Amino acid sequence: MAFQGLNEIRIIGFVSADPEGRATQSGKAVVNFSIPTVRKWGDKDVTDWHRFVAWGKLAEIVCTYVHKGSLLCVTGALTTRMWEDKNKVKHYQAEILASNILMLPGGKKKAEEAEVEPKQDVPF
């Protein structure tokens, strides 16, 4: 079999807004979220916005545990969707189909999920 190429992207960054989860008509979970990254372009900082989609059990996990400010390492494949609107105008959307998400320490937690610091020394 000939080499078919490699389509893998890994982005590390903070989630920009609470993920938007929903279910398809068949009941399959799907979620969208975005992570910005900053890169240098000459002497300027340029922000790139990366749009992610996750399906099934991974989408359910994202909806439950990921919030605005969560620090994630997301691995996936770059995809491009195409659709036509009611005026027959074609639209294209590049997004990353997430296959693995690692929640990293250092992200901001929602206030109601903030951990309370123990008042005594813990022996471990």
pLDDT digits (tens, 9 = 90+) for 46-101: 999 999 999 999 999 999 999 999 999 999 999 999 999 999 999 999 999 999 99
How far apart are the C-alpha atoms of 30 and 9, rounded to whole Å? 19
Residue 123 above 60 pLDDT? no
Non-local (6+) Cβ contacts of 51 within 8 A are 32, 33, 34, 93, 94, 95, 96
Name the percent of the chain lying above pLDDT 70: 87
Structure pTM?
0.79
More confident residue, 121 or 10: 10
Boundaries of every domain in the chain: 9-107
CATH class held by domain 9-107: mainly beta
Non-local (6+) Cβ contacts of 72 within 8 A are 11, 12, 13, 14, 15, 35, 66, 101, 102, 103, 104, 107
